[in-house]
Amino acid sequence: MSARNNFIKTAGLVWAAVLLSGCLTPGKRPVAGLLWPKTIGMLKANGITGPTLHLDYGQGDSQGNPAGVFMYFVPLISPEPVTATQTPGNTQRARVTTSDRRFSDATFTVKCDFEIDGQGCQMNIIDQEAAIRRQADRLKNGGTLERQLGSINLEGGGRGSLEVEGCLSNRVPVVTEVRLRFNGGDRRSPVTIGLHDLQQQQGTVVHRNELVARVNTLTFRREPGQPRMHVTIDSLNRKDAGGGLWQNILGGVKGMAVNLFIPPVPVEATGHQALLDFGLALAAKAPEFTFPRARNLKNIAKTE
């Protein structure tokens, strides 16, 4: 009888250890019981999808995705028409290299590192003709349209991370925030945005006070109201400023000051939702993600 009791006691301790191990190992126990959507990243606009981003999380020998595919979210979120432009011979490619998923009974987080290799520049030029038409009277009367977004560019390589936060509702994962961080691995972000003022002179609209802001993070949150993108920057310089140490220091100081009051940027609802869906694909460790079609993408061109 004593031997039987000892066996039961030992078995109970082993089972308790197994349960405890499952609770202490993020991702193993809850993931199996989650209710994932049957399709992730297959949103369609009039039956047409955008490009597919292939994800192997560093487990295969993939060469990654063309930079234009990785940055396809830019024309998706832009409320104005966009022209995607690449330098000739562009070899930039992006690859998601890791996947760290952590689940509890109520929440989850995901962190995926990515790296961008290759040479060249991938640019997204924002067409501001519609904004100029909307503000024609203001410009004609001497007004200025300040800090207009002119471009979002990816130059050279770099490292970063895709960070996802979410909650579980009746075992259904719901993404609440997605962050794209471009300044990983102690390297400067390769992503910049071009800003300028618009003024009318002698009947022609011209650019003034052209600035370049180096982007550290872009954040998309599930929140009420108009979809918006939250931006933090590393530095803010004049477009014609040199790249010396003093200019970088001044730019960094300006960047810190700008981050104190930079307002969230309104974005297209389809693009905002696509980023949240992308976060869900990363949480599910999906092998690929297909973007919806970017209706504001005008064309893809190459610079001379």
CA 115 vs. chain centroid, Å, equals 13
Higher-pLDDT residue of 151 and 113 is 113
Cα angle, residue 42 at apex, residues 280 and 300 outer, rounded to 5°: 105
How many residues does this entry show for the chain?
304
Q: What is the largest CA-CA distance in the chain?
A: 103
User: Residues 74, 81: contact at Cβ < 8 Å?
Assistant: no
Cβ burial, residue 46 (10 Å; 0-12/13-18/19+) = exposed
User: Is it the case that residue 255 has pLDDT exceeding 80?
Assistant: no
CA quadruple 133, 139, 145, 151: dihedral sign? positive
Task: Specify the amino acid at residue 214.
Answer: R
Q: Which of 85-89, 104-108, 109-113, 134-138 has the lowest mean pLDDT?
A: 134-138
> In what helix (H) or strand (E) does residue 266 lie, and over which residues does it extend?
strand 265-266
247 pLDDT band, cuts 50/70/90, is: very low
Query: What percentage of the chain carries pLDDT values higher than 70?
Result: 76
- What's residue 44's pLDDT? 42
User: Is it the case that residue 242 has pLDDT exceeding 70?
Assistant: no
Higher-pLDDT residue of 253 and 235 is 235
pLDDT digits (tens, 9 = 90+) for 9-29: 433 333 333 333 333 334 445
Q: Which of 77-86, 91-100, 110-119, 262-271 has the lowest mean pLDDT?
A: 262-271
- What's residue 70's pLDDT? 95
- What's residue 248's pLDDT? 46
Closest CA to 161 of 132, 143, 185: 185
Instruction: For residue 43, count other CB atoms closer than 10 A to its CB.
Output: 16
> In what helix (H) or strand (E) does residue 250 lie, and over which residues does it extend?
helix 245-259
- What's residue 251's pLDDT? 40
**Residue 183 three-state SS:** coil
User: Is it the case that residue 291 has pLDDT exceeding 60?
Assistant: yes
- What's residue 177's pLDDT? 98
- What's residue 110's pLDDT? 98
Please give the sequence-ordered ranges of beta strands (E in DSSP) within 186-227, or none if there are none.
Answer: 191-201, 204-221
CA 153 vs. chain centroid, Å, equals 13
| CA separation for the pair 293, 47 (Å, rounded) | 9
Instruction: For residue 246, count other CB atoms closer than 10 A to its CB.
Output: 9
Structure-block tokens of residue 50: 């955008």
Q: Which of 88-92, 126-130, 168-172 has the lowest mean pLDDT?
A: 126-130
43 pLDDT band, cuts 50/70/90, is: very low
pLDDT digits (tens, 9 = 90+) for 50-95: 999 999 999 988 889 999 999 999 999 998 999 999 999 999 999 9
